[in-house]
């Protein structure tokens, strides 16, 4: 037994690997073997990306050309590497007829020389990549959709499906340990990469988000751009024991959605990247198809809620590939509370947090001193 192992080899061999899990799920639910094969390709791609990310500055980026992507963001070499790994690994399995990536303006077709399947794969190859330089957790987010009947060469319109039509969704985490979190629509399961055997292994079966929480996550530097319902909610949290909630709250902001959602899956919490007025042309920061929709499916499958503040995220009808959307997700009691604040505001009630009144009680000013 290795000095680093806490379990015997015999116990280890009985562990459920990701591959075994998806094969057993196929047998249990009668799902399509092609879906199993596709998820297998996704896990292989994630292993390659995990390796590249873990090597940090040691990983050669020679010859990797970066650009400004369709989001207007400057790519990191690892964005390009991760994107290429996903495209290469997943195109060859004969399960897909097209892919959409955060890094590509248009859908990526499956080369003629490969077999074509009936699935569409949508992904953000390296979420949180602005955290790479500072060695903070990043990840890959993916969503599996079914192409319409008879579609073999999908166009953008074929990918514009609401999240409630996802067949599977998940994300990989590249952090202190590498993980995959997966839902096939029957709960949420977490797998940790065991580098000694080269396999993701089921370590977090049936993850459930606690319904209540005293922790929230938001980029507070955007406070002046928030809508009044979000100001109301955060103001109450920040006022803690002496405020209307009568309890102290904790705040976190990693700036990698994968890390925030994982934290919420483990110990609950509320994550917000709400609608704001920072750039009036954009209703939010996060992208619907490859960030919000897959995370919303995971969160709902784990017993949480996910909304724009005004609409269930899984019901939002996409109108373009790289569409942005407000995102509020996590522990159900807090999502419900913030949804109620939006509804009250939209009815013309609860106007206290409209500017400039709110300015006398901003997060960064003490009520006592104002
Ligand atoms: P990058 O992948 O460009 O780093 O963006 C990450 C992200 O889409 C999401 O993972 C974070 O929650 C959010 O953006 C962070 O946004 P801020 O930079 O405004 O904090």
Q: Does any domain span residue 25?
A: yes
Q: Are residues 63 and 110 in the same domain?
A: yes
Query: Is 105 in the same domain as 219?
Result: no
Q: How many domains does the chain have?
A: 2
How many helices (H) and strands (E) are present in the chain, helices listed first? 9, 15
Write the CB contacts of 161 (distance below 8 Å, at least 6 apart in sequence): 145, 318
pLDDT band at 1, cuts 50/70/90?
A: very low
Distance 327 CA to ligand 1 centre (A): 12
Residues 155 and 273 in one domain: no
What distance in angstroms lies between residue 350's CA and the mean position of ligand 1's atoms?
30
List the CATH number of the domain containing 60. Answer: 3.30.540.10
Assign residue 305 the CATH number of its domain: 3.40.190.80
Q: How far is the CA of 148 from the centre of ligand 1 (A)?
A: 32
Greatest alpha-carbon span in the chain: 70
Q: Is the CB of 128 under 6 A from ligand 1?
A: yes
Residue nearest to atom 20 of ligand 1 (CA): 255
Atom of ligand 1 nearest to the CA of 126: 2
Domain that includes residue 264, residue range: 215-367
The per-residue pLDDT for range 296-321, each reduced to its tens digit, is 999 999 999 999 999 999 999 999 99
Q: Whose CA is nearest to atom 16 of ligand 1?
A: 255
* Percentage above 90 pLDDT, the chain: 81
Same domain, 190 and 264: no
Please state, in angstroms and rounded to a whole number, the distance separating the CA atoms of residues 168 and 157.
Answer: 20
Q: Is the CB of 137 under 6 A from ligand 1?
A: no
3 part of a folded domain: no
Least confident of 67-76, 98-107, 133-142: 67-76
Does residue 209 form part of some domain?
no
Residue 129 and residue 163 in one domain = yes
- Mean pLDDT value across residues 206-216: 98
Residue with tokens 């074509």: 116
One domain for residues 221 and 198: no
At residue 58, the pLDDT reads: 77
pLDDT at 144 over 50: yes
User: Which DSSP symbol is given to 45?
Assistant: H
Closest ligand 1 atom, residue 273 Cα: 12
Q: Could you tell me if 242 and 294 lie in one domain?
A: yes
The phi, psi pair for 166, rounded to 5°, reads -65, 140
Residue 195 and residue 226 in one domain: no
């Amino acid at each position: 037994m290795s000095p680093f192992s806490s379990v015997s080899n015999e116990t280890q061999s009985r562990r459920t690997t990701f591959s075994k899990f998806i094969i057993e799920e196929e047998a249990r639910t009668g799902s399509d073997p092609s879906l199993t094969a596709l998820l297998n390709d996704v896990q292989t791609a994630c292993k390659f990306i995990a390796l590249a990310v873990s090597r940090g500055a040691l990983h050669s980026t020679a010859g990797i050309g970066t650009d400004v992507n369709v989001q207007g963001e400057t790519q990191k070499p690892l964005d390009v590497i991760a994107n290429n790994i996903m495209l290469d690994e997943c195109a060859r399995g004969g399960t897909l007829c097209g892919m959409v990536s955060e890094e590509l303006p248009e859908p990526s077709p499956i080369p003629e020389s490969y077999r074509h399947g009936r699935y569409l794969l949508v992904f953000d190859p390296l979420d949180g990549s602005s955290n790479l330089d500072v060695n903070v957790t990043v990840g890959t987010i993916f969503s599996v959709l079914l192409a319409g009947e008879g579609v073999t060469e999908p166009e953008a319109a074929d990918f514009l499906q609401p999240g409630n039509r996802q067949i599977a969704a998940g994300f990989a985490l590249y952090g202190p340990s590498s993980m995959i979190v997966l839902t096939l629509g029957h709960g949420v399961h977490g797998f940790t990469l065991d580098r000694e055997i080269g396999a993701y292994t089921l370590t977090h079966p049936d993850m459930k988000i606690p319904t209540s929480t005293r922790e929230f996550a938001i980029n507070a530097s955007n406070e002046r751009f928030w809508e009044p319902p979000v100001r109301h909610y955060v103001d109450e949290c920040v006022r803690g024991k002496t405020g209307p909630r009568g309890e102290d709250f904790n705040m976190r902001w990693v700036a990698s959605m994968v890390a925030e959602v994982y934290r919420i899956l483990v110990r609950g919490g509320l994550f917000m990247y709400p609608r704001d007025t920072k750039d009036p042309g954009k209703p939010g920061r996060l992208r619907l198809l490859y960030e919000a929709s897959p995370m919303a499916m995971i969160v709902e499958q784990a017993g949480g809620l996910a909304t724009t503040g005004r609409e269930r995220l899984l019901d939002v009808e996409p109108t373009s590939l790289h569409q942005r959307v407000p995102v509020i997700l996590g522990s159900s009691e807090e999502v419900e509370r913030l949804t109620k604040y939006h509804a009250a505001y939209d009815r013309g009630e609860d106007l206290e947090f409209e500017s400039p009144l709110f300015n006398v009680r901003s997060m960064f000013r003490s009520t006592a001193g104002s």
